[in-house]
Structure 1
Amino acid sequence: MGETIPIAVPRKGRPLESVLDRLADRLDVPDLADDITSTLRHEKALTKGTIDPDEEDVYHRLAAYSTVDDPTAPEYTLLRDDRAGKPRRIVFDSVTIPLSHVESAPDGAAIQLVGREEPFRSLRTHEFALGFDSADLVLEEVVELRAEPLNRIADINARINPADTDVQVVTGMGDTVYHTLLATPDVAPSSGSLDRDFLEAYEGPLCIEPRYERLVQAVLGTRALEGIEFRYPEEGREEEAAIAETGLGVYLTVTGSTARDHGLLLGEQLFPSETVLLENTAETTETVAFVRSLLNGKDLETELAVGQ
């Protein structure tokens, strides 16, 4: 038997879909990727109540999805969702993909995607050599805070202290959204741009999600935060609404339509949020390096270009 390389991946959402898209492209498994994605989207819609549930309860659906007699079929598990009532939600658990059809693959080699709530932390504890997670979590966990701002994902590795972790960012998946500076018209500058220079001179409240506090400190730099007081949305309140009440804030935007609906102006895109491939360099083997090369590549349209 050849070596099977486990890869930590998110259990659901946009980051997992980005990983599946990458595997569909590089390993020629589009049907498998589509199957997992469609199943999880269906379950998300059931959990959110946007489609009517069928007659089968969540346990029967879980049994139907997980085909235990096929070792290459995807498996799923149950997770408590954060929505009202804490419903049980079906999420991704694992799937094994043989690499026998991949040119130059070691004999018998395979990869096994393994769902984790926070894949980056699984790499930090040396459970995995490879994994995918949001670049945001790396900033929230290990990057050094400095006076100077952090502008690019490609600069993250330079701010990771090797004494803190053996994990490094390899590349991004190109599913980019941005942490964007948002302000009401009465707070935004009447002349000039709503950008980092504005923040350098600004003093007052800045609304952010609590979990992004360290990320924002890294992205803006500690010098720019002098005279700024963090404010946080009340539990259950929409982030854009809280920023509109505060007057200024930082939040993830895709199109910015929701921010505009709350009367907010879109300022500088401060930092890209992107799913990234991570590697624990202390756990790298020859087969791990081969798998990493399969997942990396110049064909990626990403904010990150480490080693390319």
Structure 2
Amino acid sequence: MGETIPIAVPRKGRPLEAVLDRLAGLAGAEELADGVISTLRHEKAITKGDLEPETDVYRRLADYSSSSEGPDYTLLRDDREGFPRRIVFDSAEIPLEGERRIRLIGREEPFRALRTHEFALGFDSADLVLEEVVELGAGPVERIADLNARIDPTETDVRVAGGLGDTVYHTLMVTPETAPEAAPIDRAFLASYEGPLCIVPRYERLVRAVLGKRVLDGISFRYPEHGREEEAAIAAHGAGVYLTVTGSTARDHGLVLGEELFPSETVLLENAAERRSSPAVEAVRNLIAPAPAETELVV
């Protein structure tokens, strides 16, 4: 019997959907991908209170995971009010050509599972790499391709192998009163700006890496109050950085969008030490590695 190669993946959300869309082109994976995505979107709507469930969460979990062919799901506590139980992805197998298979295994933070050598391959948000291991420098990190150059090889064996192109951006946004006259709202503006910059606390290290130490002189970070919408908090402080897809919510709060500072994207990660130890892992890595045309990544 052929080898089964485990791959760590997120349990829910846009990054998992990006992974499933990528793997849907592999033999027999289209139906699996569509089924998992539709199931998790349905369960998200129930958790948010947008849908009323017909059965309790344990019955739904049993129904979803009843097939011996998978996929399997599990329960986690959501962080919404009341901490409801939420059904999330657990695992699934995808057969490849020959007798080789890959097994997708859900993890809360796949990057950390690769750091501890539990997996040779995994998918996670590029943001987490910035938040965890990328060194802070005087200059900015502007592209996903810059990540590997800023990872200390004594800190981790994990590297970014490619991106999936599910790109949203950490975007600079300001109020009209803060915006410069007849000049771009970009890093150069921030280099001369002195005052508050509102960010989500978990992104502080990411923003420091993306902007670089030189730009941060004279800037003081501020954070949204608990329960307050991020764009509303940025509008109150005059300037900030937050994720945007279309920017419509930011504009609704009277904000002007500036430079897209860094792409937030799902990336293929590899633990180089583990990958080199297995020809099978190397073959699977080459099969699923994203093509350059599909991503912001340039390596």
One-letter amino acid of the structure 1 residue matched with residue 199 of structure 2: I
| 1:13 maps to 2:13 | yes
One-letter amino acid of the structure 1 residue matched with residue 298 of structure 2: A
Q: Tell me the distance in 1 between the aligned counterparts of 2:13 and 2:156.
A: 26
- SS of structure 2 residue aligned to 1:241: helix
Give 5+ residue unaligned stretches, structure 2: none
Per-residue deviation, 1:305:
2.6
One-letter amino acid of the structure 2 residue matched with residue 64 of structure 1: D
Per-residue deviation, 1:159:
0.4
Alignment of 1:1-308 (within 5 A): 1-54=1-54, 56-67=55-66, 70=68, 72-99=69-96, 102=97, 105=98, 108-284=99-275, 285-298=278-291, 300-306=293-299
Per-residue deviation, 1:299:
6.4
Contact 1:173 1:300 in 2 (8 A): no
* TM-score of the aligned structures, taking structure 1 as reference length: 0.94
Q: Tell me the distance in 2 between the aligned counterparts of 1:185 and 1:61.
A: 49
**How many positions carry a matched residue from both structures?**
297
Q: Tell me the distance in 1 between the aligned counterparts of 2:140 and 2:115.
A: 25
Could you say if the C-alpha distance between residues 27 and 292 of structure 1 is closer, same or farther in structure 2, counting changes exceeding 3 Å? Answer: farther
Q: Tell me the distance in 1 between the aligned counterparts of 2:38 and 2:199.
A: 32
RMSD (Å) for aligned C-alpha atoms: 1.0
- SS of structure 2 residue aligned to 1:189: coil
Per-residue deviation, 1:86:
0.3
Contact 1:3 1:287 in 2 (8 A): yes
Q: Tell me the distance in 2 between the aligned counterparts of 1:305 and 1:95.
A: 30
Contact 1:26 1:294 in 2 (8 A): no
Contact 1:179 1:269 in 2 (8 A): yes
Could you say if the C-alpha distance between residues 297 and 212 of structure 1 is closer, same or farther in structure 2, counting changes exceeding 3 Å? Answer: closer
Segments of 4+ moved more than 3 angstroms: none
- SS of structure 2 residue aligned to 1:156: helix
One-letter amino acid of the structure 1 residue matched with residue 73 of structure 2: Y
Q: Tell me the distance in 1 between the aligned counterparts of 2:188 and 2:57.
A: 51
Could you say if the C-alpha distance between residues 27 and 154 of structure 1 is closer, same or farther in structure 2, counting changes exceeding 3 Å? Answer: farther
Could you say if the C-alpha distance between residues 192 and 299 of structure 1 is closer, same or farther in structure 2, counting changes exceeding 3 Å? Answer: closer
Per-residue deviation, 1:127:
0.3
Per-residue deviation, 1:28:
4.5
- SS of structure 2 residue aligned to 1:26: coil
Q: Deviations over 1:205-248 (max 9, x none)?
A: 00000000000000000110011100000111110000000000
* TM-score of the aligned structures, taking structure 2 as reference length: 0.97
Per-residue deviation, 1:297:
4.2
Q: Tell me the distance in 2 between the aligned counterparts of 1:300 and 1:126.
A: 30
Per-residue deviation, 1:131:
0.3
